[in-house]
Amino acid sequence: MAKIGIVGGTGYTGVELMRLLVLHPDVEVQMITSRGEAGTAVAEMFPNLRGHTDLVFTEPDVKQLAACDMVFFATPNGVAMQMVPELLEQGARVVDLAADFRLRDAVVWQEWYGKPHACPELLEEAVYGLPELHRDKIRSARLVANPGCYPTAVQLGFFPLLRNQLVDTGRLIADAKSGVSGAGRGAQVGTLLCEASESFKAYGASGHRHLPEIRQGLGQVAGTEVGLTFVPHLVPMIRGIEATLYASLQGEFSELQAIYEKIYADEPFVDVLPAGSLPETRTVRGTNLCRLALHSQPGSDQVIVVSVIDNLVKGAAGQAVQNMNLMLGLEEQRGLNQLALLPA
């Protein structure tokens, strides 16, 4: 049994990670940390875990964490980079679910996150944890940067088009919507029930932190910088992301279905739906799946890709477990074969 440590387990991503790991047949969570909740039983804070764990939140201790085979960081941005160098030095392997190691350029990271990076020397080593694109590198990595939720949905949707040079890379549009859990568990006026319910709004339209991450990933696939307009929206549901993607097609739309099906044929967590389908977030709720569908409109050169994921699973904790499985030499689907709950 692989020994697992979790740093910062009191948020929605943390409890989702615990939900998946306590049921995983090949790992055992040894410790879960929280400075603010040290001494509190995990199952007291998250009753859904009652009967599955006796762990109590503890203060972070690098030596104890380094004794684990794998350490997950489910912390706010800027926390992992303070501890990761020492953990790596002591032989631990790390999956960071925050943004500390997603961007390769420390200057760009500081521009978007408002502080200098604590260990810029690790940015080049960190492997971007989108398994469908970087599976082999993930297997041997010491440090994996788990992708953001929006970037996962957007990159998986655009990937086949860019890989096959089928679209104008200077004119990509990602119109994405997320459930309120994407904003985290901390109390904020904008995510209160009376504020978010029965409403729909865009945010980050002048520039969202996931924009440089998406541009970086798409640019690596395209082999050139891409022109991307990305606008996220908040919708009054708990979990789920729907991304409607637009690009100017330079090939034949009639060929795209076969291209997508071929590229993702052996991917256990990407489901290309039949032509004309419209994916729904409820069909991936609680699963590690990304579901995709292709559309076009008469008289238009625009291809429309619809991509849906659960922001807390494929967009966060599930993908982290997928990366863990690869890093530990386990079957990639191990512990991740949940079916979506319907109705939801």
CATH number for 255: 3.30.360.10
Q: Is residue 134 part of a domain?
A: no
111 domain-assigned = yes
Residue 133 covered by a domain: no
User: Domain check: are 30 and 154 in the same one?
Assistant: no
- Bridge partners for 243 per DSSP: 176, 307
The Cα-based distances of 304 to 169, 248, 331 in angstroms read: 14, 9, 33
Number of continuous H segments (helices) and E segments (strands) in the chain: 11, 13
Give residue 185's pLDDT.
81
Q: What is the CATH number of the domain that holds 77?
A: 3.40.50.720
Q: What is the pLDDT of residue 191?
A: 84
324 falls within a domain: no
User: b vs e for 66-98, b when ≥16 Cβ sit within 10 Å of the residue's Cβ?
Assistant: bbbbbbbbbbebbbbbebbeebbeeebbbbbbb
| Helical (H) or strand (E) element with 73 | strand 70-73
Q: Does any domain span residue 175?
A: yes
Q: Which pair of structure tokens corresponds to residue 212?
A: 């440089």
Share the mean pLDDT of the chain.
Answer: 96
Q: What is the pLDDT of residue 192?
A: 82
Q: What is the pLDDT of residue 182?
A: 85
For residues 184 and 120, membership in a common domain is answered with no
336 belongs to a structural domain? no
Per-residue pLDDT, 194: 86
User: Quick one: tokens of 255?
Assistant: 């060929």
Q: Is the dihedral of CA 107, 113, 118, 122 positive or negative?
A: negative
Q: Which residues are catalytic?
A: 149
344 to 30, 182, 235, 272, 337: CA distances (angstroms): 33, 17, 15, 21, 18
The reply to whether 95 and 230 lie within a common domain is: no
Domain match, 14 and 111 both: yes
* Structure-token pair, residue 96: 């960071």
Per-residue pLDDT of the chain (344 residues; tens, 9 = 90+): 999 999 998 999 999 999 999 999 999 999 999 999 999 999 999 999 999 999 999 999 999 999 999 999 999 999 999 999 999 999 999 999 999 999 999 999 999 999 999 999 999 999 999 999 999 999 999 999 999 999 999 999 999 999 999 999 999 999 999 999 887 887 788 888 888 889 999 999 999 999 999 999 999 999 999 999 999 999 999 999 999 999 999 989 999 999 999 999 999 999 999 999 999 999 999 999 999 999 999 999 999 999 999 999 999 999 999 999 999 999 999 999 999 988 87
Q: DSSP string covering 144-188, please?
A: EEPPPHHHHHHHHHHHHHHHTT-EEEEEEEEEEEE-GGGG-SS--
> From CA 60, how far away is CA 43, in angstroms rounded?
19
Residues 95 and 201 in one domain: no
Same domain, 237 and 121: no
Q: Please indicate, yes or no, whether residues 59 and 159 belong to a single structural domain of this protein.
A: no
**160 and 271 share a domain?**
yes
Indicate if 121 and 156 belong to the same structural domain.
Answer: no
Phi first, then psi: give them for residue 28, nearest 5 degrees. -140, 125
Q: Are residues 100 and 182 in the same domain?
A: no
195 part of a folded domain = yes
Residue range of the domain that includes 80? 2-125
The predicted structure's pLDDT at residue 204? 93
| 253 shares a domain with 170 | yes
- What is the count of structural domains for the chain? 2
Residue 202 CB coordination number (10 Å): 13
Q: For residue 308, what pLDDT is reported? A: 98
Give CA 216 to chain center in angstroms. Answer: 15
Q: Are residues 162 and 280 in the same domain?
A: yes
In-domain check, residue 266: yes
